Structure 1
Amino acid sequence: MSDDQGNAQGGATGNSGSRRLPRISFEFFPPKTEEMERTLWATIKRLAPLEPSFVSVTYGAGGSTRERTHATIVRILKETRLTPAAHLTCVDASRADIDEVVARYHDAGVRHIVALRGDPASGMGGAYTAHPDGYQTSAELVASIKKRYPDIEVSVSAYPEKHPQSADFDADVDTLKAKVDAGATRAITQFFFDNDLYNRYVDRVRARGVDVPIVPGILPVQNFKQMSNVASRCGASVPSWLAEKFEGLDDDPETRKLIAAAVAAGQVQKLNKHGVDNFHFYTMNRADLVFAISHLLGFRANAAREAA
């Protein structure tokens, strides 16, 4: 979906008068088991009536979820009214292999790809080595997709705290600019908790002439310890004030949910008040926190339509 299309949030209307609602999108990961698949589809059914601009499905380290990602995307296309975006990485695959994946998506009706360099098969934080016959950078991948399929929209990643493997912020912004120059029309950020980090990052990229939407990636904290471990591997900082809010709640999941919803809603509402009109939620395949935060933003489920 283009940004112009995204300006109209058709079925999500609230009690906010004439104020235009922001655009929202959701990220899911492909399920590994039947139980996880049931959880995912219950989540999709719960969130679909909010009519997000798109929903993305991740691609595991080293392409480990290729077929499961494809199957999830195809099912979304067939069984829902949602617009799916397929994640795709350069890791451990030749250009021919990746081109085949893109062709399969295009044939299935996918018109949005989130193009990433990706994490190595050893996992996030491991050393990255490009495949000798593969795309050497995500910018190369973006350029190839746009050359072969001009009708596919391409989103890319962005890092308010710098990619952990970038030499410095200037090099990191140069990488983003190369991806945009190659044809990317949106950048979705790594999650962050300090809005000042995002605001400073946007100032940096705008100063370099990058004018595509920089969509903040929002992570409601389902599990503080797990989130902290992920943050340490991907270079995202965890403020001390956030740790204090979850202190002593290891065995109190209900209170953790309340705190998590309050924190994420506060972050999103502050960004929205400062003009940010596009948010991407890392759902972790759970609907409750994301639905609550969307409700606080003014979204109301379109009850007149089936969810899926």
Structure 2
Amino acid sequence: MKRDKFAKVIGVLAVLVILGGVAGAAWHAKVRATEQPQEVEAEPGVESAAYTLAKGDYSNLTYDNISVDRPVYDRYTLKQRLAKGLPTMLPVLPHYTAEKVAYLTFDDGPDDVNTPAILDVLKAKGVHATFYVLGGMVEKNPAVLKRIFTEGHAIGNHSYDHDYERLYANKESFVEEMEQTDEAVFKVIGMRPFIIRAPGGTVGMFADDYYKHLNLLGYVEHDWNVLTEDATPEHPSAEQQIDYIDRRAAGQLKDNMALVLMHCNGGKEETVRALPGIIDNLKAKGYRFGVVTPITPQPW
């Protein structure tokens, strides 16, 4: 009997030792797991020296990290930011006013005739520009948008289809159009622009609450202070457009900047012809060329 009891005790102790070993191994494994650095989910988007791609927390959007030579994009759409609980409002950034900069901007594209012709001129001149695109045109001409992007120009949002009645019904309707174009651009280049331009400009179009609403959502709007008038009914010739820019850029412009409005859609063949002369005249006046970014001042 004593032997049986002794054997049972030994058996119980053996089981306890085994269980203790298993529990100990599990505890040590848990400790080792907590000591290992947790894998951080990689953020989407392709990094490149050709542009600045905002991090999810915007931590890399600083004045020193943004250049007038390099576009700035977001790796997330606004909907993605909201779904992930990421910030939407950009950090406060000083404006760049250190030198004379000409920002050539083209609205209402991309089309498949004049936009490529303008890109050819810019490439030949070694100049980068900013293209404020319509979402509907992006869907029609994605290859042209891709070329704008790959050649280092900045892409901005100019609404989906220039429908003033829908755009300016209220601030929510305006943002809906911006988001629609964001999605179209994102499908082509895998990122979205922060910069926007209100069709017709903001003066007389924006109610007081528009700017605050757009600011909260990370949109940065820019109008213009120099224009070729190529969208007016007069359809000025190339020579007239060159003269307009020459005279308007001759004086002292706010913040050392010439933010030039042109168009790159159908019927703008004279703009294509004028562009080499416009570039040459601005260079002669001491301007360098840059692309619009969140640190570009509003021109008025």
- TM score, norm. by length of structure 2: 0.46
User: Whose Rg is larger?
Assistant: 2
